[in-house]
Amino acid sequence: MNLRRTRAVAKKEFVHILRDARSLILALAMPMLMILLFGYALSLDVDQIPTAVLDQDRTPQSRELLERFQASRYFKIVEMADSQRAIEHGMDRGEVGLGIVIAHDYSEKLLTGRQAEVQLLFDGSDSNTASIAVGYADTVVQTYAVELREQFMDRRSGTEMPQSVEPQLRVWYNSELKSKNYIVPGLIAVILMIISALLTSLTIAREWEMGTMEQILSTPLRAEELVLGKMSAFFAVGLVDALIAVAIGVFVFGVPLRGSFWLLFATTCVFLFGALCWGILLSALARSQLLAFQMGIISSFLPAFLLSGFIFSIENMPRVVQVLSHIVPARYFVTLLKGIFLKGVGTYVLWVEIAFLMLYCALVFFGSTRKVGSRLA
């Protein structure tokens, strides 16, 4: 491989990028817009669930239960309904996510030591929110029920009974349980995969459409020189995009960067190299820029979004899909980002993902040089 010819191709691509100012601005602005849009719009947090209450008892005991719901940040009482039908209408309009129905004999059963029932109605049209709300509501009710049982036993025995088990919870890595801390690192991987594949997916195809590929064919340029030269210019743009995405994640969304910045930089470079080579391979396969663009979108966005573990847990997918996800490079980079950002772990934990990414880079680089070489031959 001749470095002089590689530098010449890289210089040509840099000049082309700088001359096309609109495309350069779009390439730098797109990750900023995407991470801001997805970061603010895409949230898995379930709190302030609109709650309607039908209190048929209207006693201090029923009001005490409602105060427990109101004190929780997960529920917001928006309506005191006069009938169960009113709660159903609120759910039909999408204004109520939880309905609490307290029977008229609630306090009577409570004071006499009998089992008092409270009906909780959930809007299951959004199954994810409903399942989380069920857990929150059950925790509020069960905690209150335990306190009432202890008070009842204390009154009967005349002495205060100590709590037999006192759980102490410690949440590691994301103590505030913010979904943005989970989403934003994975979002960086998805954005870089899309940007990188699209940046280089048009390079070889553009040469064919512009008629300059015939001039390249007449030169002693080798396939690896052409691939590395074209990729180097877009590699610099990709690094700037990665820096923008990381800066927004840390300083705008407040995602903690607990691990090594240099490990993050090194793994990002490896991932970018593979993604850019994938774009060049697609560009060599398709002589049309439109076809190359479509192939880039299908092969980068959909797998990175759906099969990387960015949002959807891979462990909950069908077995066939789990096996298929192993060929998606974004899966390994998402694991690397979450490990470096949230857990602060290093290569002693993440070496498997790093090895898979390096293997992916080697295979895609070999495939792109072979395909470009067949075009040049």
How far does Cα 65 stand from its chain's mean position? 36
pLDDT (average), residues 265-270:
93
Encode burial over 135-171: b for 16+ CB neighbours within 10 A, e otherwise. ebbeebbeebeeebeeeeeeeeeeeeeeeeeeeeeee
Q: Which residues, 6 or more positions from 104, have their beta carbon under 8 angstroms from its beta carbon?
A: 56, 57
Domain locations in the chain? 3-43+178-376, 49-157
For the ranges 202-206, 271-275, 364-368, the lowest mean pLDDT is seen at 202-206
pLDDT (average), residues 268-279:
90
Q: What angle do CA 99, 104, 108 make, to 5 degrees?
A: 125
* pLDDT value at residue 215: 67
Q: What is the pLDDT of residues 222-259, one digit of tens each?
A: 777 777 887 888 888 889 889 998 999 899 888 889 98
- Report the alpha-carbon distance of residue 293 to residue 240 in Å, rounded: 22
Nearest Cα to Cα of residue 72 among 146, 132, 148: 132
Rg of the chain, C-alpha, whole Å: 29
Q: What is the pLDDT of residues 324-341, one digit of tens each?
A: 888 889 899 999 999 999
Nearest Cα to Cα of residue 298 among 309, 310, 286: 286
Q: Is the pLDDT of residue 308 over 90?
A: no
For the ranges 121-130, 212-221, 320-329, the lowest mean pLDDT is seen at 212-221
* pLDDT value at residue 157: 61
Residue 147: what are its φ and ψ, rounded to 5°? -65, -40
* pLDDT value at residue 93: 86
Domain 49-157 class in CATH: alpha beta
Higher-scoring residue by pLDDT: 48, 376: 48
Q: Is the pLDDT of residue 297 over 70?
A: yes
For the ranges 166-175, 253-262, 368-377, the lowest mean pLDDT is seen at 368-377
* pLDDT value at residue 102: 87
Query: Where do the H-state alpha helices sit in 126-178?
Result: 127-157
pLDDT (average), residues 86-99:
87
- Which amino acid would we find at residue 353? E
* pLDDT value at residue 233: 82
Higher-scoring residue by pLDDT: 347, 162: 347
3-state helix, strand, coil in the chain (%, to 5): 70, 5, 25
Q: Is the pLDDT of residue 161 over 60?
A: no
Q: Is the pLDDT of residue 220 over 90?
A: no
* pLDDT value at residue 95: 86
* pLDDT value at residue 332: 92
Beta bridge partners, 49, equal 75
Q: Is the pLDDT of residue 202 over 80?
A: no
pLDDT classification of 216: cutoffs 50, 70, 90: low
Q: Is the pLDDT of residue 342 over 60?
A: yes
Rounded to the nearest integer, the mean pLDDT of the chain is: 82
Q: Is the pLDDT of residue 87 over 70?
A: yes
* pLDDT value at residue 265: 94
Q: What is the pLDDT of residues 49-75, one digit of tens each?
A: 898 988 888 888 888 888 888 888 888
Highest mean pLDDT among 264-273, 296-305, 365-374: 264-273
* pLDDT value at residue 266: 93
pLDDT (average), residues 121-147:
82
- Report the alpha-carbon distance of residue 268 to residue 270 in Å, rounded: 5
* pLDDT value at residue 377: 54
* pLDDT value at residue 351: 92
pLDDT classification of 354: cutoffs 50, 70, 90: very high
* pLDDT value at residue 358: 93
Kindly report the number of other CB atoms within 10 A of residue 70's CB atom. Answer: 13
Q: C-alpha distances in angstroms, 77 versus 46, 87, 97, 107, 365?
A: 15, 12, 10, 21, 58
